[in-house]
Amino acid sequence: MGLKRAGFMLLIFSGIFLNVGCSYMVKNDQQKFYSKSQHGEDKFLVVQGYNIHYVEAGEGQPLLLIPGAFSTYRHWNRVIPYLSKYYKLFCIDYLGAGDSDKPRSGFGYTIEEQADLIVKMIETLQILKVQILGVSYGGAIALNLAARYPEKVGKVISIEGNGISSNKHQKISYGPMEDLLRFPLIGEIPIGVIRSGLADKFVTKSVMGKAWEDLNETERKQVRKIISQSNRTASRISWFHISRTLKTSRDFSEHAKTISIPILYLYGENSNYQGMAKANATFLKTHLSNVEIVSFPDGIHDLQLQKPKDVASLILEFLAKTRTHEENAFNANNPTTVSE
């Protein structure tokens, strides 16, 4: 009798989570957003028939922010207040994340597909050249943009950006989760659990790793809210494809060797992907002349969540320094004659 009851309850809960997991919007034609942005203004742009959600904040030169795998623009919430004082931020939900469309077919969520779509977005916004900041999957997209669309990109900051396929350390595996997400019905159940909020504490601690203990109570609440709100818009198809992106994306390492624009590459030595990050840093330093590498001895993968002030300070210093270099070069090539 007890086994029957347990089986019945399991069936009920599985049905509930299955329903929750399937309830996301594939096409957000009404351009609704899950929750109002904490910083800036929620906006949408239709690019190649897709509804792309982004948050615009601040004034100044444009700076595009691309979140990591399975994340929304909210993963930048702790750095936005620092950066928006000096730059006009475009914090995007890339296709498949947050309130942007989540196509079930016709889009593979590869690094190069996301980069191509973002270029179209930049053109639609009539931005001639943009600085780009990305983390993890977003950091790979940022590097891909620098390699394949140098005329569109001013400078790049990549926080543990991956995707250089010739790197033997590019072996990010999401284990059983990736295997579960492969299947249409079974895969919707873990997504339902994530969307329900029941896994928020576990996911938050998993993302923060060793850094969790160093956060005070206010910081913990901030980070948990960011991850909780991001989890509410999870979707099986996009998460599955993103989890396989290092297998499905094209190798752009040869293109990467030609990057001439300034790059700042940040990584944490306590990151779960430290081997990958160090190998990418070495690759960039070996092949490029205009790259700066900064590592944090106690840093995790998502440095923007762990050390927002330090990360923002490095970014602002890097952008200001390279801007000064550009101005000096321009002045040298365009001397002004002063008449008395």
Taking only the tens place, the pLDDT of each residue in 25-84 is: 689 999 998 899 999 999 999 999 999 999 999 999 999 999 999 999 999 999 999 999
Beta pairing partners, 304: none
Boundaries of every domain in the chain: 41-172+250-331
pLDDT score recorded for residue 166 = 59
**Lowest-confidence region among 4-8, 99-103, 241-245:** 4-8
Mean pLDDT confidence for 309-322: 94
Coil, strand or helix at 144: helix
**Lowest-confidence region among 109-113, 162-166, 172-176, 253-257:** 172-176
Q: How many CB atoms lie within 10 A of CB 47?
A: 20
pLDDT score recorded for residue 290 = 95
Contact criterion met (CB below 8 Å) for 104 and 26: yes
C-alpha 297/C-alpha 267 separation (Å) is 9
C-alpha 319/C-alpha 337 separation (Å) is 29
- Least Cα distance to 53 among 25, 78, 80, 81 occurs for 25
C-alpha 180/C-alpha 194 separation (Å) is 13
Instruction: With a cut of 90, say whether residue 9 has pLDDT above it.
Output: no
CA angle 315, 152, 88 (to 5 degrees): 45
C-alpha 299/C-alpha 277 separation (Å) is 12
C-alpha 242/C-alpha 109 separation (Å) is 6
Contact criterion met (CB below 8 Å) for 259 and 288: yes
C-alpha 114/C-alpha 96 separation (Å) is 10
Please tell me which residue, 88 or 5, carries the higher pLDDT value. 88
- pLDDT bracket for residue 262 (50, 70, 90): very high
What phi, psi does 246 have (nearest 5°)?
Answer: -70, -20
Quote the radius of gyration of the chain (alpha carbons, Å). Answer: 21
**102 Cβ contact list (under 8 Å, min separation 6):** 24, 25, 26, 95, 96, 235, 237, 238
- pLDDT bracket for residue 106 (50, 70, 90): very high
CA angle 283, 133, 268 (to 5 degrees): 55
> Average per-residue pLDDT in the chain?
86
Instruction: With a cut of 80, say whether residue 313 has pLDDT above it.
Output: yes
Mean pLDDT confidence for 3-22: 40
**Lowest-confidence region among 16-20, 54-58, 73-77, 195-199:** 16-20
Instruction: With a cut of 80, say whether residue 170 has pLDDT above it.
Output: no
- Least Cα distance to 69 among 138, 126, 18 occurs for 138
C-alpha 38/C-alpha 45 separation (Å) is 20
Return the CATH fold of 41-172+250-331. Rossmann fold (3.40.50)
How far is CA 258 from its chain centroid? 23
pLDDT score recorded for residue 190 = 85
Mean pLDDT confidence for 246-261: 92
Please tell me which residue, 14 or 313, carries the higher pLDDT value. 313
Q: Put residue 70 in one of left, alpha, beta given phi > 0 → left and psi -120 to 50 → alpha.
A: left
Contact criterion met (CB below 8 Å) for 188 and 22: yes
What phi, psi does 286 have (nearest 5°)?
Answer: -70, -40
Helix residue ranges, H only, 197-256: 200-208, 217-231, 236-243, 245-248, 253-256
**Angle at which helices 188-196 and 236-243 cross, to 10°:** 110
